[in-house]
Amino acid sequence: MNEELSNKIIERLNKDSILPIPKWRFNILYGFFWLGALMSVIIGSLAFATILFLIIDLRMHGIFEVSHSALEIMLFIPYLWLIVLCIFILIAKISLRHTKRGHQYRLRYIVASSLILSIIFGSFLTLVGVGKLTHDTLNRTSIYNYTTYDAQDAWDQPIVGRIAGVVLSVNNKNNFIIKDFEGALWHIQIATSTYGHVFTPKANSIVRMSGIYDASSSIFIATSIYEWED
Amino acid sequence: MALELDKSDQELVIATLENRNSFSALIQKYEAAIRRYVRRLGCVEADDINDVIQEIFIKVYINLNDYDQKLKFSSWLYRIAHNETISFFRKKNLRVNVLNLSDEDIDDFFEQIDDGKDYVKIAYQKDDARITRDLLSSLNPKYKDVLVLRFLEEKSYSEISEILKLPEGTVATLINRGKKELKIGLEAKGIKSI
C-alpha cells in the first residue's frame, strides 16, 4: 500500500485549499440539461402542432386538388417547422446525454421517444387550436411569413390560377370584386363554362377560386368558386 | 486507517466529504489499479504516470459531490481516469493511440478474450506479443477503449457503459466489432487460430 501518493495528494488539497464543488451546483447543471430535454419536447410538440395545422389547413382549402404537380406540392411542405423539429430532437439528445444516466439510452430510442412525444402532444395541441395560434402569431413576422406557406399563400397565386379574398361588391351574377389577403383588389368574372362547384358570391363572404388570370384585361376568370372555410 | 479500509466505497466517499483525510483510504484502495490503467492507455514515463494519477485523484476529490452513489465508485473513478489520461496526452501532444502493454498484459488479454462469453471467439497462440500489441494500438480508439476495459481491466459491460458513457448495447457491439477487427488483423499477420 503506497501511502506516499495519498499523503502528497492530501498535502496538495490542504496547501491549495481545494474543496469539493458543492452538490447544489451539480444539481443546477443537471437541472439545466433536464430543462433542455423538456423544452425540446415542448418546442417539438409546438412544431408538430403547427406542421399538422398547416397540412390540415392546406387540405381543408382544397389545395392538393388544384395543385399542378408534385413539385408544386413540395413547396407547401413546412420546411421551417421540420427543421425546428429536427433541431429540438437533437437538443433533446444532447441534453439527455449530459444527464447522469442519459448515456444509457441509445440515440435511436432518444430520437424515437422525442418524436413520439412531439407527435402525441403536438396532435393534442392541434386539436385545441395551439397549432393555428402559433402559426397566426408568427405569421405576423416577415421572416416566418416569407418561409412558411399556408392556405392563404397557396390561394394568393392568380398567375397560376388560384385566388381568394373577401367579396367587396357583386356587380351582377357574373361579375364581382374581391380584396385578396394581401389587400389588393381583383375584378372577377365567372367563366361561361365552369367546372367544379360555383358558390354564389355575396358581399363580405370569403371565397377561393380557380381559373385563369387574363393579364391584358386584368380580370380573373373563375371556373370554380368555393366558400373559404375557417 | 485500517478501519477506514474496511469501509465500502460509498462510506468512504461520505467520510471524505466530512473529512478530507479519509480520502487517503480511497486513494490507497485504487492507486494500483488506476496506475496500471493509465500505463496501459499509453503513459510510459513514471513521472508522467505519477502526475496523471495525482490529477485524477484531485479531480475525483473536487467532483466528489457529483458521484452517484447508486453506481460503482470504481466505474466513476475509471471514467475520470480515462478522460484525464486522454487530455494529458493531448496537452503533451503525445499520440493517444499507442497502448503501453507488457507481455504479461497480452497473456492476460488472450486469457480473458477466450472466455467464451462474447460472440466472436479468438483463441490464438501467445507466441507473438509484439504483433498483438501493435495491432491493438492500431485499432480505432472506440474499439481499443472497450477491449482494454473488457479484457485487461476485466470490467463488465455495465461498468464499461458507465466508464465510457455509452449505452450497454453499444458497448457489446463495439466489443464484438473490435474483436472481429483484431481477428482479421491477426490472421493477416499470419497468426493462426488454435
Please name the member of B50, B65, B169 whose beta carbon is closest to the beta carbon of A26. B65
**Confidence band, pLDDT 50/70/90 cuts, at residue B187:** confident
B63 neighbourhood in chain A, CB within 8 Å: 20-21
Residue with the bigger pLDDT between B76 and B99: it is B76
Q: What is the mean pLDDT of residues B161-173?
A: 92
Query: Strand, helix or coil at B193?
Result: strand
B57 neighbourhood in chain A, CB within 8 Å: 5, 9
Query: Strand, helix or coil at B136?
Result: helix
Give the pLDDT score at B55.
Answer: 95
B27 neighbourhood in chain A, CB within 8 Å: 5-6, 9
Pairing status of strand A219-227 against strand A185-190:
parallel
B47 secondary structure, DSSP code: H
What's the rounded Cα separation, in Å, for the pair B129 and B102? 8
What's the rounded Cα separation, in Å, for the pair B15 and B13? 5
Residue B71, sorted as left (phi over 0), alpha (psi -120 to 50) or beta, turns out to be beta
Residue B10, C-alpha cell as written in the block: 460509498
pLDDT tens-digit map of B15-46: 999 998 999 999 999 999 999 999 988 888 88
Residue A7 in contact with partner chain B when CB distance is under 8 A: yes
**Confidence band, pLDDT 50/70/90 cuts, at residue B75:** very high
| Cβ–Cβ below 8 Å for A105 and B167 | yes
Residue A1 in contact with partner chain B when CB distance is under 8 A: yes
Give the pLDDT score at A68.
Answer: 67
Q: Is the pLDDT of residue B51 over 60?
A: yes
Q: Is the pLDDT of residue B184 over 60?
A: yes
- Cβ A89 vs Cβ A115: under 8 Å: yes
**Confidence band, pLDDT 50/70/90 cuts, at residue B114:** low
Query: Strand, helix or coil at A175?
Result: strand
Give the pLDDT score at B12.
Answer: 92
| Cβ–Cβ below 8 Å for A106 and B64 | no
Beta-bridge partner residues of A214: A219
Residue with the bigger pLDDT between B134 and A22: it is A22
- Cβ B182 vs Cβ B139: under 8 Å: yes
Residue A100, C-alpha cell as written in the block: 447522469
What's the rounded Cα separation, in Å, for the pair B53 and A43? 44
Residue A162: name the closest of A175, A170, A153 by CA: A153
**Lowest mean pLDDT segment, chosen from A35-49, A139-153, B65-79:** A139-153
Q: What is the mean pLDDT of residues B55-62?
A: 96
ipTM for the whole predicted complex goes beyond 0.85: no
What's the rounded Cα separation, in Å, for the pair B38 and A11? 23
Q: State the average pLDDT for chain A.
A: 88
pLDDT tens-digit map of B145-165: 999 999 889 999 999 999 999
Centre a 10 Å sphere on the Cβ of residue A85 and count the other Cβ atoms it contains: 25
Residue with the bigger pLDDT between A56 and B7: it is A56
Q: State the average pLDDT for chain B.
A: 84
**Confidence band, pLDDT 50/70/90 cuts, at residue B194:** very low
What's the rounded Cα separation, in Å, for the pair B122 and B111? 10
- Cβ A222 vs Cβ A211: under 8 Å: yes
What's the rounded Cα separation, in Å, for the pair B22 and A135? 60
Among chain A residues, CA nearest to B13: A20
Q: Is the pLDDT of residue A82 over 60?
A: yes
Give the pLDDT score at B80.
Answer: 96
B58 neighbourhood in chain A, CB within 8 Å: 9, 12-13, 18
**Confidence band, pLDDT 50/70/90 cuts, at residue A70:** confident
Residue A10, C-alpha cell as written in the block: 492530501
CB-based burial label for B54 (10 Å; 0-12, 13-18, 19+): middle
Q: Is the pLDDT of residue A75 over 50?
A: yes
Q: How many angstroms from the chain centroid is the CA of residue A66?
A: 22
Q: What is the mean pLDDT of residues B78-92?
A: 92
Give the pLDDT score at B191.
Answer: 67
- Cβ B78 vs Cβ B161: under 8 Å: no
Q: Is the pLDDT of residue B176 over 80?
A: yes
**Lowest mean pLDDT segment, chosen from A14-28, A101-115, A192-206, B62-76:** A192-206
**Lowest mean pLDDT segment, chosen from A27-41, A101-115, B65-79:** A101-115
B6 neighbourhood in chain A, CB within 8 Å: none
What's the rounded Cα separation, in Å, for the pair B113 and B137? 16
State the SS3 of A96-135.
HHCCCCHHHCCHHHHHHHHHHHHHHHHHHHHHCCHHHHHH
pLDDT tens-digit map of A128-170: 999 999 999 998 888 888 888 888 888 988 888 899 999 998 8
Q: Where are the beta strands (DSSP E) in A124-174?
A: 162-172
**Confidence band, pLDDT 50/70/90 cuts, at residue A19:** very high
Q: Is the pLDDT of residue B97 over 50?
A: yes
Among chain A residues, CA nearest to B69: A100
Give the pLDDT score at A74.
Answer: 80
Q: A138 Cβ partners below 8 Å, 6+ apart? A: A144, A148
Give the pLDDT score at B119.
Answer: 46
pLDDT tens-digit map of A160-201: 889 999 999 888 878 899 999 888 899 999 887 777 777 888
What's the rounded Cα separation, in Å, for the pair B5 and B28? 9
| Cβ–Cβ below 8 Å for A5 and B27 | yes
What's the rounded Cα separation, in Å, for the pair A58 and A135? 13
- Cβ A199 vs Cβ A227: under 8 Å: yes
